[in-house]
Structure 1
Amino acid sequence: VLSVENEAMGTGGAVALARQHLSGQGPVLVLNGDLISSVDVTALVVHHAATGAKATLSLWEVEDPSRFGVCDLDESGMIGRFQEKPEPGTEFSNLINAGCYLIERDVLNGLSSDKHSMEREVFPGLAEAGGMAGLAFTGYFVDAGTPESFIEAAQVCIANGRYDSGHVEGNSWFGEGSNCIGAAHSSSIGQGCNIGEGASVSDCVILSGANIGAGARLDGCLVGQGANVAPDSNYSGLVIGHGASV
């Protein structure tokens, strides 16, 4: 089911809109769609049941938590405080909300249908009331909300075999029907792409149907579907839109 919002409803409003499509009993799993991680959902479910929490968050440790929701986790696996996107230096932990969590049905049913934020308006209250648990995991986690991290997410997927079609050569993934006469390094080459003779792409994501001209050099670029890059051009850190020509 795809929910189309005429107005952005925030994370809380978006989850509330899903209620009408849910059946059955028990906790509901919510997963942010802009991340790649190795979270063990089964372990999360077990921890949720063992603690009797109203909500259980997957947690990841980072050096700079200012872009994320920060959790104060105690020895029993419960979160005593939740702080969304703290100012640098004000965080009380380096454990962040990793965008995968379980919530009980009464929490889900109690969500407002209006625009609101789970992280700013729901989680802090649950933590203060003693109803929120957390479980840290290791492996990998990429919040793919920027062009750079989108490329990183693709590289992590390649390194960990997270693809269901195409093939890997060296450290690059090639989609079905792609044709690479040039060279690709640590890149994702989508279905039906063409990489011309003498061209080189490094740390790039090339989406389906794009054409990279002969002799072109791309480094750290995100190339949209059906885009065209001229022969012998040289770009670094560029985002090229779907169907665009540069």
Structure 2
Amino acid sequence: MKSFFADASLPYEVVLSVEEKALGTGGAIALARPHLTGEGPVLVLNGDLVSSVDVAALAAHHRTTGATATLSLWEVEDPSRFGVCELDDAGFIRRFQEKPERGTEFSNLINAGCYLIERDALAGLASEPHSIEREVFPGIAETGEMFGLVFTGYFVDAGTSASFIEAAQVCIANGRYSSGQVNGDSWLGDGSHCDGFLSGSSIGAGSNVGAGASLTDCVVLAGANIGAGASLTRCLVGEGAGVAAGAEFSDTIVGHHAHAE
């Protein structure tokens, strides 16, 4: 991440707040608090999400309602991996249910990992591991000062190998890439080369896919090599990794700089 931002030309300053140990969502915000200069609410986005949330609309709703916190909400079929929110008729969140067992949820609306929160609500966050969703949000909801804004479009929590691949496919389908080129339903990064067959896959910069290789629903990161005639389905291939010619894998993760035969 440091090397990425070191080379990036951006109209704003990027400060990396690095955790010595995992601090959870609440502790991580507390650690970054000294860097949150200026005035007004703080925008928080989970880093492992791909979504179409309209941040400007979220901010407008936050100002209009005068809420302490305004959360983006997304409707899912199975909310068991997420924090569930109950919305009243006025659009305020009344209670939370964190990762309920399937069938016990009181709603299918989930916290979509993008929210605005007033600085005063962050002042008491402890600089130790804790969850803002479990320990702070319920209290704000009880005061009637938490608003929820449901959005449509797309949302992917890329926290599993399958959803990471889905996130890449969503980016391709919605034009969410800043380099490389799209070929059909697949993306090829700058300097990559493909002599094989791709379906729903992403090939990172400088990677090579050998003659006759077949990749379906795969993500190959930068500098990897897929041997001729290899067949991969729903696989993640790490940076600088290699897959032997003729190898066959499905639902497999090949680590960075590893070699799979």
2:113 pairs with 1:104: no
In the other structure, the counterpart of 1:169 is 183
Q: Which amino acid aligns with 2:39?
A: Q
Query: For residues 190 and 118 of structure 2, what CA distance do their matches in structure 1 show?
Result: 41
Deviations 1:27-53 (A, max 9, x none): 000000001000000110111111111
2:101 pairs with 1:82: no
Q: Secondary structure at the match of 1:67?
A: coil
1:4-19 superposed matches below 5 A: 4-19=18-33
Query: For residues 69 and 196 of structure 2, what CA distance do their matches in structure 1 show?
Result: 50
2:61 pairs with 1:41: no
C-alpha RMSD of the superposition: 0.8
In the other structure, the counterpart of 1:126 is 140
Q: Which amino acid aligns with 2:224?
A: A
Q: Secondary structure at the match of 2:164?
A: helix
Structure 1: give runs of 5+ residues left out of the alignment.
none
Deviations 1:80-104 (A, max 9, x none): 1111111222211100000000000
Runs of 4+ in 1 over 3 A off after TM superposition: none
Deviations 1:120-177 (A, max 9, x none): 1011111111111100000000000000000000000000000000000100000000
1:159-198 superposed matches below 5 A: 159-198=173-212
CA apart distance, 1:110: 2.1
- TM-score w.r.t. length of structure 2: 0.93
In the other structure, the counterpart of 2:168 is 154
Query: For residues 220 and 87 of structure 1, what CA distance do their matches in structure 2 show?
Result: 27
Q: Which amino acid aligns with 1:170?
A: G
In the other structure, the counterpart of 1:65 is 79
CA apart distance, 1:3: 2.1
Q: Which amino acid aligns with 1:47?
A: H
CA apart distance, 1:6: 2.0
Query: For residues 191 and 145 of structure 2, what CA distance do their matches in structure 1 show?
Result: 51
Structure 2: give runs of 5+ residues left out of the alignment.
1-14
Q: Which amino acid aligns with 2:148?
A: G
Deviations 1:9-30 (A, max 9, x none): 1100001111111111100000
Tell whether the 8 Å contact from 1:83 to 1:124 is kept in structure 2 after alignment. no
Q: Secondary structure at the match of 1:48?
A: helix
Deviates more, 1:75-84 or 1:36-45: 75-84
Query: For residues 61 and 128 of structure 1, what CA distance do their matches in structure 2 show?
Result: 22
Tell whether the 8 Å contact from 1:171 to 1:187 is kept in structure 2 after alignment. yes
In the other structure, the counterpart of 1:143 is 157
In the other structure, the counterpart of 1:95 is 109
Deviates more, 1:114-123 or 1:171-180: 114-123
Tell whether the 8 Å contact from 1:211 to 1:229 is kept in structure 2 after alignment. yes
